[in-house]
Each structure stands twice: as structure tokens, then as C-alpha cells.
Structure 1
Amino acid sequence: MHRFEYHAVAPADRERVWEVLSNPGQLARLTPGRYRVEVEDRRSALAPGAFVFLRFSFFLRRWAWTSVIRELIPPQRLLEEMHAGPLAAWRHEIRLSETSWGTEVVESVEYRLKYGWVGRLLNRWLVEGALARLFEHRERALLTLLSRPKPTLPESLPPPLETGELDADNVLPLPPRRGKAVLL
């Protein structure tokens, strides 16, 4: 099994960080756009035994992925495993702990590729770097989502933006990179 771990600190309380990271509907925002993640049912409540169904693009192909929630301890720990998908095995754990700076986020992944020695070669050549970039993006996206006020329903909605028009109030600069990827 290959192991990958990513550490970050989010300047928000643990409950707020949990709201973002434990919500399957946020996966598309937390994942780089080139993967084109689509979650089938974004409203499902997570619980041990619950399934999350998604599709994504990677290495010139569209893939289906089904995860099962193995353990859920709000707002501290989430453990999910791949039930069906393109890998031989995948286990992803999110651990949150409060610090004086906010919330420490530790995401650990254990995975095994298919295809024997070819899979091991692909891991070095392709997967390790892709995981590091994915979790760096995930940290930046998390910080951006946390910097926005918690959504509330407005009394009236503004008119929609015209195609190509940009609303400067919705464009946030990316925070400086603070995370650290550790290949184990």
C-alpha cells in the first residue's frame, strides 16, 4: 500500500471546517476543475455505511467511483473507503483538531493501484504528484470557502450575471500556501 498525508491549518473553528469537508456537495469545489467531479446526490447525509457516488476525469478517461463511509465522529474524524472504482484499494481519513491558530486538518490516504509493477511505475510517474497537487488545491479551496460568510437565504435574489460578466465581490485572492505534503 502507498501512503500519502497532507497537513494544513484552517483559520476557523473545527465545526465550520467540518461543515465543508464532510459535505459531499463540496467535493467539486474542493477538487481541481480539470477532474470535472460530479457527485450524484449532494444532499445525502453522511452516516456510517452511507455511500457516496461520483464521477471524475483522470488521465484522459472518465471514471466512476463509489465510496462507503466507515467511520464518522463529527467534528473530529471521517473515514471513507473506495467500494468500487479504478484503484485496487483506497482509504481516506480526515482528522480535525483545534489549535491556537484554528483547526489542524490532517488528511491521510492509503491506496494501492491495479496492474502490478506497471501500477507501481504509474504511482511514481503520475499518482504521487497528482495527489500532492490535489491536496494543495483542496487546502486553497477550503480556505476560500471558509473566508466566505456562511450562506443564508436572502429576502430577494439579485438579477443573474450576464455571460462573461464578473462580480468583483465574489472573486477572492488565494491565500498563501501553508500546507505540507508528506509521502510515507
Structure 2
Amino acid sequence: MKKYQLYRETILPITLLEAWDFFSNPSNLSKITPAEMEFKVVTSNLPQHIHNGLMIEYVVRPLAGVPLKWLSQISSVNAPHSFVDEQLKGPYAYWHHEHTFEEKDGKVLMKDHVTYAISFGWLGRLANALIVRSKLEQIFDYRTAQILNIFKAA
């Protein structure tokens, strides 16, 4: 299974604790996901902040409006510096997303490091090259713009 990497860095004009407060709240994910993906959390009674072992189920429509169920688990939390979410069930053969936050010159350097894989051998590699990679980049571009807009207004 071939694994792919997606890496992003964003400088946030806020404190480390403000960054942690926003990103550790699972309800905020919908605020930074493109509307056309119709992201919807299915899990009821979500806590205000993530914790090790937290499972979050949601439905997302990343391509052509087709609904996909996704079950993630927060597998590691090192508040307020990092957390990892991993897909347990969903569209990827493998998904590991590490979020890190580092105070730097009165701001926060946020890093996203995603490792993912797609099933179906050469067809999965072709799908990644033609569709999946660019869609993920678009999602993360949107996410960055939304985050900067939210914190600019704060």
C-alpha cells in the first residue's frame, strides 16, 4: 500500500491557548470544512475538547455529492501542543493526521501532517494522481483561508 504525505504550516495571530481551545473543540471542524462537502457530525454528546480515545463519526460528501461515513479516533493528545486523529472507518485505506501547535514570536505556528493511503492498487494510485490529491489540497487551502479569516476577526 503506497502512502502519501500532505504537509501544511500556518502562522496564526493568536496565543497557543486560543489555538488549542479552537482546534481541540470537535464542533469547530465544520467551520473550516468547505460547505459543498456537507460535513455533518453524527456523534451525539461531543465533549467541548478532545481527549485520548474520543471517537467521532461524521458524514461528508467530498466528491459528486456521494455521502461517505467516516469514523475517527483521537489517538494521541498532548495539550496544548499536539493531537492526532486517525480514521478507523472511511474512504481511505489509511489516514493519520497530526496537528501541532508551537508558540513563535507571539504567534502560533500550526502544522498539519497527513499521511494517507488509498485502496485498489494501481487504480488507487491513479485516483490519487487525478482526483484525491488535488481535492485534499483544495480542502486544506480552504481550511487555511477560513482559519485566517476567523482569527483575523477575533
Which TM-score applies when normalising by structure 2? 0.91
Question: Once the two structures are superposed, what CA deviation does each residue of 1:13-67 show, in whole Å capped at 9, x if it has no partner?
Answer: 1111112212111111111111110012363241111101111002221000000
SS in 2 for 1:12: coil
**Counterpart Cα distance in 2 of 1:3 and 1:42:** 32
**Counterpart Cα distance in 1 of 2:13 and 2:81:** 16
Structure 1 stretches of 4+ moved >6 Å: none
Please, what is the CA RMSD of the aligned residues? Answer: 1.4
| Counterpart in the other structure of 1:154 | none
8 Å contact from structure 2 (residues 95, 117) kept in 1: yes
| Counterpart in the other structure of 1:52 | 56
Structure 1 residues 42 and 145: CA distance shift in structure 2, 3 A: farther
**Aligned positions of 1:6-155 closer than 5 A:** 6-40=8-42, 41=44, 43-44=46-47, 45-60=49-64, 61-100=66-105, 102-149=107-154
- Report % sequence identity: 23
| Counterpart in the other structure of 2:4 | 2
Structure 1 residues 2 and 148: CA distance shift in structure 2, 3 A: same
8 Å contact from structure 1 (residues 80, 92) kept in 2: yes
Which TM-score applies when normalising by structure 1? 0.77
**Aligned positions of 1:144-183 closer than 5 A:** 144-149=149-154
SS in 1 for 2:61: strand
8 Å contact from structure 1 (residues 10, 105) kept in 2: yes
5+ residue gaps, structure 1, are 150-184
Q: Which has the larger radius of gyration?
A: 1
SS in 2 for 1:58: coil
5+ residue gaps, structure 2, are none
